[in-house]
Amino acid sequence: MADLQTDVRYIKGIGEQRAKALARVGVTTLRELIGYFPRSYEDRTRLYPIAQLPEGEEACCVAMIAAEPVGRRITGGRSMVRLRAVDESGVLDVTFFNQEYRKSSLHTGETYIFYGKAEGTARRRQMVNPLMERQENQRLTGRIMPVYPLTHGVSQLMLGQAVRQGLDACRELLEDVLPDHVRQQHKLCYVNFAYENIHFPASFEALEVARRRLVFEELFLLTCGLQLLRHRRQDVAGPACHAVDMDGFYSVLPFPLTEAQRRAIDDAIGDMTRGRPMNRLVQGDVGSGKTMVAAACIWFAAQNGWQSALMAPTEILARQHYDNLSPLFAAFGLHVALLTGSTKARERRAVLEGLALGQIDLCVGTHALLTEDVQYARLGLVITDEQHRFGVNQRSALGKKGDDPHLMVLSATPIPRTLGLIIYGDLDVSIIDQLPPGRQKVDTFAVDERYRQRLNGFIRKQVGEGRQVFIVCPLVGDGDNLPDERKAATEYAERLQNEVFPELRIAVLHGKMKPKEKDAVMAAFVAGETDILVSTTVIEVGVDVPNATLMVVENAELFGLSQLHQLRGRVGRGSHKSYCILVSQDATDTGKARLKALTDTNDGFKIAEEDLKLRGPGDFFGQRQHGLPGLKVADLSCDMRLLDEAQSAARALLKADPTLSDLSHRKLKGRIAELFTMNAEALN
């Protein structure tokens, strides 16, 4: 066996067919196979008497077949086999569907271990399609069994066997990347023990020891990698900037900035005049004025002769930035351009020429800013809005357009401190914790279908007063193949127009529309030509409609709390009293507790902490998009103590050897570079 990058098809016992199946769960190498960790475990070690089998839970019992199995055909061409098994405590009725062979292979007087979900009374239990095997050749019972995440065509049995073969193949290959003194100091087991017992634990104690080791290693490697990125930045020169009197910028603004905005600007300018590239996150709640902080830095860069690029995740948001910043910078004689996927060819050529000749001071755009033909004369500042929607590699791709430009990341998604340590570990952070004067609290209410008539009346009242309404649905249309009760935006808009509000002007907006269509719908809403905009979460980020005073979120239980908080931030942006109504079908206590967090507070950071607590970090952003190595074993909602421990250990190690150049750290450095593949060159 060559190494851990070996293709799984060459591992003994796997072959071509199984390798194809494993590829469907993202496993193509030996390293990925042994790193495909179980999501949970089943305790099949404990044997219960039939009468004591826990109700509705998977459990094992030993029982003797008391009568010959009976088979018959049932509707739909299916077959059913029934048998009765007994022990001293009671009777177990067992039913197998579509397993005809059971009728001839099982006989009276034979004893088996049955594993399945028991229903019925204490004296007479029932199981459907249980696992069963003889006690003398146990493979599926008598042990703690791993339960893996699956996909179509991949079974637990097949995955378990493949992992077993993978572990057997790499006994000699698994190197301990943790330095010995770190492993001993933190009382961590050896790496072979950890991998063996995370997959096939000898006991729950062994599982805990294995998991602790792997969680520590994961968080330790991540911290080291982020610190190496940080250290690398300190060794390169950033675009040179000298101090400028910022009153020249502030005096032109139509309103005073908050203290928090001024602090963030001072932080950034301090970075830009320090001689190395700035790498700063400006984090603030919806409406806290991050764009003005970015504008001040763009102006500052221009006074020093540098161009700036501002990248937004959607065309709507890019255009909004362009519309807001163009008139502001025109007062200073600075030239702003817009570049998106729908920019016409002639316009695009003019923008590219202006950038290359240094005639454009700021280019606002979407991912279009990353294409190869976009070249700058003197790119000194890169700003990305809503950072978690871009990967680390994307922001670094934009950075490569210049010679180590200053980087600023804006985010209105409040990240819990714990998650921020992981996601933004390579960034310095400024938090804008004040709202500008005039921004008001949005009153939030969680209701169910019983309030529908009252809600419809309230919508009419708002529109009657000249205001506008957002209604957000979780889906676009029928093609999503999800249950009917989830309001699909297109059909729902039609129903509202035809049956509920025929007298009102209703439009629909969703992500599957062409950019031009989206822009037209949004522009009409901003201009007040639409009363109600029925939308998917495409309006979650950035769109500014001061006249919109009511946000209604349908099926609110399907959204994360932070996402709901973002949606709520679309209203309350003008001088009128604003409201957010969360309509939920979820009557469970957990569902109610989630939405109560939103009705209780408007503090995005508190909501984010609650979201992390309730959902865990795995799906905090829905799909992971920020580009850092994924967490496979660590769970930040319960591994906080271990995170602190791993981070302290990483900091201590890097204090002694800042670039991991010591020979004893060669394996560790190699593993970090492998993990941060998109930044491998940055780590060398």
* Residue 114 belongs to domain with CATH number: 2.40.50.140
Question: What pLDDT score does 309 carry?
Answer: 93
Q: Are residues 98 and 123 in the same domain?
A: yes
Tokens matching residue 233:
């930045």
Instruction: Please identify, among 432, 455, 485, the residue that sits at the C-terminal boundary of a domain.
Output: 432
Residue 403 has pLDDT above 50, yes or no: yes
Question: What pLDDT score does 621 carry?
Answer: 40
Query: Binning pLDDT at 50, 70 and 90, where does residue 480 land?
Result: very low
Q: What percent of the chain has pLDDT over 70?
A: 86
pLDDT in tens, 199-225: 999 999 999 999 999 999 988 988 888
CB atoms within 10 A of CB 163: 24
For residues 9 and 28, give the distance between their C-alpha atoms in angstroms, rounded to a whole number: 8
Tokens matching residue 228:
């190496």
Residue 483 has pLDDT above 60, yes or no: no
Domain-located, residue 95 = yes
Question: What pLDDT score does 152 carry?
Answer: 78
348 secondary structure, DSSP code = H
Tokens matching residue 472:
């957000």
Question: What pLDDT score does 50 carry?
Answer: 93
How many CA atoms lie within 13 Å of 302's alpha carbon, on the beta-carbon side?
Answer: 23
Query: Binning pLDDT at 50, 70 and 90, where does residue 551 land?
Result: very high
Domain-located, residue 26 = no
Question: What pLDDT score does 185 carry?
Answer: 93
pLDDT in tens, 135-190: 888 888 888 999 988 877 788 888 888 899 889 888 888 888 899 999 999 999 99
Tokens matching residue 488:
């699909």
Per-residue burial over 391-426, b = 16 or more CB atoms within 10 Å of its CB, e = otherwise: bbebbbbbbebbebbbbbbbbbbbbbebbbbbbbbb
List strand residue ranges (DSSP E) for 44-159, in order.
58-65, 70-74, 78-87, 90-97, 111-117, 119-120, 124-128, 131-133, 144-147
Residue 678 has pLDDT above 50, yes or no: no
Mean pLDDT, rounded, for 11-26:
84
For residues 661 and 32, give the distance between their C-alpha atoms in angstroms, rounded to a whole number: 27
Phi, psi of 142 (to 5 degrees): 75, 15
Instruction: Please identify, among 392, 412, 432, the residue that sits at the C-terminal boundary of a domain.
Output: 432
Q: Which one is predicted more confidently, 624 or 110? A: 110
- Sequence-distant (6+) residues with CB within 8 A of 271 are 278, 279, 280, 406, 428
Domain-located, residue 80 = yes
Amino acid letter for position 640: M
Lowest mean pLDDT among 335-349, 564-578, 582-596: 582-596
Question: What pLDDT score does 369 carry?
Answer: 82
Q: Are residues 584 and 476 in the same domain?
A: yes
pLDDT in tens, 41-81: 988 999 999 999 998 889 999 999 999 999 998 888 889 99
| DSSP secondary structure of 24-57 | TTT--BHHHHHT---SEEEE---B--GGGPPTTS
Mean pLDDT, rounded, for 614-630:
47
Lowest mean pLDDT among 158-162, 336-340, 674-678: 674-678
Q: Are residues 505 and 476 in the same domain?
A: yes
Phi, psi of 10 (to 5 degrees): -90, 5
Residue 445 burial (10 A CB sphere; 0-12, 13-18, 19+): middle
Query: Binning pLDDT at 50, 70 and 90, where does residue 627 land?
Result: very low
For residues 200 and 426, give the distance between their C-alpha atoms in angstroms, rounded to a whole number: 36
| DSSP secondary structure of 508-571 | EE-TTS-HHHHHHHHHHHHTT--SEEEE-GGGSSS---TTEEEEEETTGGGS-HHHHHHHHTTS
Residue 406 has pLDDT above 50, yes or no: yes
Question: What pLDDT score does 208 carry?
Answer: 93
Q: Which one is predicted more confidently, 517 or 79? A: 79
CATH number at residue 252: 3.40.50.300
For residues 612 and 142, give the distance between their C-alpha atoms in angstroms, rounded to a whole number: 36
CA Rg value for the chain: 30
Q: Which one is predicted more confidently, 596 or 245? A: 245
Domain-located, residue 681 = yes
Query: Binning pLDDT at 50, 70 and 90, where does residue 484 land?
Result: very low
Question: What pLDDT score does 506 carry?
Answer: 93
Q: Are residues 396 and 259 in the same domain?
A: yes
For residues 611 and 418, give the distance between their C-alpha atoms in angstroms, rounded to a whole number: 12
Q: Are residues 593 and 479 in the same domain?
A: yes
**Which residues lie across from 618 on neighbouring strands?**
none
Question: What pLDDT score does 383 carry?
Answer: 92
Residue 354 has pLDDT above 90, yes or no: yes
Domain-located, residue 32 = no
Tokens matching residue 436:
């500008």
Question: What pLDDT score does 416 carry?
Answer: 63
Query: Rounded mean pLDDT of the chain?
Result: 83
Residue 681 has pLDDT above 60, yes or no: no
Domain-located, residue 630 = no
Lowest mean pLDDT among 95-109, 268-282, 537-551, 605-619: 605-619
pLDDT in tens, 111-133: 999 999 999 877 789 999 999 99
Q: Are residues 266 and 290 in the same domain?
A: yes
* Domain hosting residue 91, numbered range: 46-142
| Owner of token pair 């708002």 | 462
Residue 446 has pLDDT above 80, yes or no: yes
Question: What pLDDT score does 491 carry?
Answer: 87
Number of domains in the chain: 4
Q: Are residues 261 and 357 in the same domain?
A: yes
Instruction: Please identify, among 432, 455, 477, the residue that sits at the C-terminal boundary of a domain.
Output: 432
Question: What pLDDT score does 481 carry?
Answer: 47
Question: What pLDDT score does 635 carry?
Answer: 66
Domain-located, residue 607 = no
Instruction: Please tell me whether residue 406 adopts helix, strand or coil conformation.
Output: strand
Q: Are residues 319 and 421 in the same domain?
A: yes
For residues 539 and 126, give the distance between their C-alpha atoms in angstroms, rounded to a whole number: 51
Question: What pLDDT score does 620 carry?
Answer: 44
Q: Which one is predicted more confidently, 627 or 169? A: 169
Q: Are residues 501 and 420 in the same domain?
A: no
Q: Are residues 316 and 463 in the same domain?
A: no
Residue 646 has pLDDT above 70, yes or no: yes
Mean pLDDT, rounded, for 300-305:
96
Domain-located, residue 9 = no
pLDDT in tens, 223-275: 888 878 767 666 678 888 999 999 999 998 888 899 999 999 999 999 999 88
Asked if 307 contacts 360 with a C-beta cutoff of 8 angstroms, the reply is yes
Per-residue burial over 182-196, b = 16 or more CB atoms within 10 Å of its CB, e = otherwise: bbeebebbebeebbb
For residues 168 and 157, give the distance between their C-alpha atoms in angstroms, rounded to a whole number: 17
Q: Are residues 270 and 395 in the same domain?
A: yes
Q: Give, for 399, the enclosing helix (H) or strand (E).
A: helix 392-399
Question: What pLDDT score does 532 carry?
Answer: 94
Q: Are residues 498 and 542 in the same domain?
A: yes
